[in-house]
């Protein structure tokens, strides 16, 4: 599988998150808690500097954490 292509803003926010296994797992669980079972964002889950990550669906966010990400070309 290929790295996920994300916007520059999303990549910058992901870069600010800690990158160890424990933190990745915690962030993934926290991210998923903000979404309903059908993938609709139900509540704000991030502080303002990470707000842009709410644009990522849970599976897309998980793929970013596991496979990695790169900035998409416009």
Query: Residue written as tokens 């669906």?
Result: 57
The Cα 69–Cα 4 span in angstroms is: 4
pTM: 0.89
Question: 18: how many CB neighbours lie within 10 A of its CB?
Answer: 9
pLDDT, tens digit, 9 for 90 and up, residues 41-72:
998 889 888 999 999 999 999 999 999 999 99
Q: Is a pLDDT exceeding 80 seen at residue 4?
A: yes
pLDDT, tens digit, 9 for 90 and up, residues 28-46:
999 999 999 888 999 888 9
Q: Which residues contact 65 (CB under 8 A, 6 or more apart)?
A: 24, 27, 28
Q: Is a pLDDT exceeding 80 seen at residue 25?
A: yes
């Amino acid at each position: 599988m290929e790295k996920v292509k994300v916007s520059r803003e999303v990549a910058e926010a992901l870069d600010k998150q800690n990158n160890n296994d424990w933190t990745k797992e915690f962030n993934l669980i926290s991210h998923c808690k903000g979404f309903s079972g059908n993938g609709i964002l139900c509540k704000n889950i991030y502080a303002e500097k990470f707000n842009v990550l709410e644009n990522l669906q849970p599976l897309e966010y998980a793929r970013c954490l596991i496979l990695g990400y790169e900035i998409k070309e416009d």
